[in-house]
C-alpha cells in the first residue's frame, strides 16, 4: 500500500500528546460522524496508538445510556474497543505486546468546558448530544525495527466509519495520511 512520508508539521499533535487530546485544535468541526482521528508514536520499543472517533460510529449512539438495552450495547461496544488485536494488525515480526489500554467516552458537555464560545453554544444548541470515544493502546515491541506498518482492521467492525485521519511519529520519520475501509494499511 501507500508509503506515507509527508513532512507534516506535527507540532499540535506533539503538544496534545502531553495532555488529553479532547481539546482538538479543529474545535467543533472535529466531530463529524464517520470520521475519526488516529495518532501513533513509536518511541524505542514503545508503540502508542490513539483513536478518537464519534460514539455514533463506535458505539451506535451518543446520548448517555439509559435503558437496559443501551447499557448492554455500551458494555459490548467497550469490550470490543478493549480488544485491541481485533482493531489493528501490526507487523508480526515486531512481536508487539499490548501492555496498557484505556477507553473513555467523552460527552460534549465536557468537551465544551474550555471553549471560549461556551455561552453562545448553549444559545444555539440543537439539543443533540455528541460524544467521542477516546482510546489509547500502548504496546511494547520486542523488535521495533521490524515494525513497518499497521493495518486498521477496525473498519470491518464499524461499517459507518468511513475514514481516519492519521498523524504519527516513527523513528526518523513523520507519517500522515488517511485510512479508509479500502485503503486501511499505513506503512513507513
Q: Provide the binding-site residues for Zn ion, judged by CB under 5 A.
A: 54, 62, 130
Taking the complex as a whole, the smallest distance from the CB of residue 128 to Zn ion amounts, in Å, to: 7
Q: What is the H or E stretch that residue 16 is in?
A: helix 11-16
CB nearer to Zn ion: give 94 or 131.
131
Distance of CA 93 to CAs 14, 48, 186, Å?
28, 18, 16
Taking the complex as a whole, the smallest distance from the CB of residue 57 to Zn ion amounts, in Å, to: 9
CB nearer to Zn ion: give 42 or 131.
131
The three-state secondary structure class of 141 is strand
Distance of CA 13 to CAs 17, 104, 172, 184, Å?
6, 19, 17, 21
Per the CB < 8 A criterion, the answer to whether 118 and 97 are in contact is: no
CB nearer to Zn ion: give 90 or 131.
131
Residues 6 or more apart whose CB falls under 8 angstroms from that of 82 comprise 101, 103
Q: Which of 154, 48, 159 is nearest to 101 (CA)?
A: 48
Residue nearest to Zn ion (CB): 130
CB nearer to Zn ion: give 50 or 62.
62
C-alpha cell of 154? 477496525
Taking the complex as a whole, the smallest distance from the CB of residue 62 to Zn ion amounts, in Å, to: 5
Taking the complex as a whole, the smallest distance from the CB of residue 121 to Zn ion amounts, in Å, to: 14
Per the CB < 8 A criterion, the answer to whether 46 and 140 are in contact is: yes
CB nearer to Zn ion: give 130 or 134.
130
Taking the complex as a whole, the smallest distance from the CB of residue 34 to Zn ion amounts, in Å, to: 10
Taking the complex as a whole, the smallest distance from the CB of residue 112 to Zn ion amounts, in Å, to: 13
CB nearer to Zn ion: give 164 or 169.
164
Rounded CA-CA distance 108/142 in Å is: 39
Amino acid at each position: 500500500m501507500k508509503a506515507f512520508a509527508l513532512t507534516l508539521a506535527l507540532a499540535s499533535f506533539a503538544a496534545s500528546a502531553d495532555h488529553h487530546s479532547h481539546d482538538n485544535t479543529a474545535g467543533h468541526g472535529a466531530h463529524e460522524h464517520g470520521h475519526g482521528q488516529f495518532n501513533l508514536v513509536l518511541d524505542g520499543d514503545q508503540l502508542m496508538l490513539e483513536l478518537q472517533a464519534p460514539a455514533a460510529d463506535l458505539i451506535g449512539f451518543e446520548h448517555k445510556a439509559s435503558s437496559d438495552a443501551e447499557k448492554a450495547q455500551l458494555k459490548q461496544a467497550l469490550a470490543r474497543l478493549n480488544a485491541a488485536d481485533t482493531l489493528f494488525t501490526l507487523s508480526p515480526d515486531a512481536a508487539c505486546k499490548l501492555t496498557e489500554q484505556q477507553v473513555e467516552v467523552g460527552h460534549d458537555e465536557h468537551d465544551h468546558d474550555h471553549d471560549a464560545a461556551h455561552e453562545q453554544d448553549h444559545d444555539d444548541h440543537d439539543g443533540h448530544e455528541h460524544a467521542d470515544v477516546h482510546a489509547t493502546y500502548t504496546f511494547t515491541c520486542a523488535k521495533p525495527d521490524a515494525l513497518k506498518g499497521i493495518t486498521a482492521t477496525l473498519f470491518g467492525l464499524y461499517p459507518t466509519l468511513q475514514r481516519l485521519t492519521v498523524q504519527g511519529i516513527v523513528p526518523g520519520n513523520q507519517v500522515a495520511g488517511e485510512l479508509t475501509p479500502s485503503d486501511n494499511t499505513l506503512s513507513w
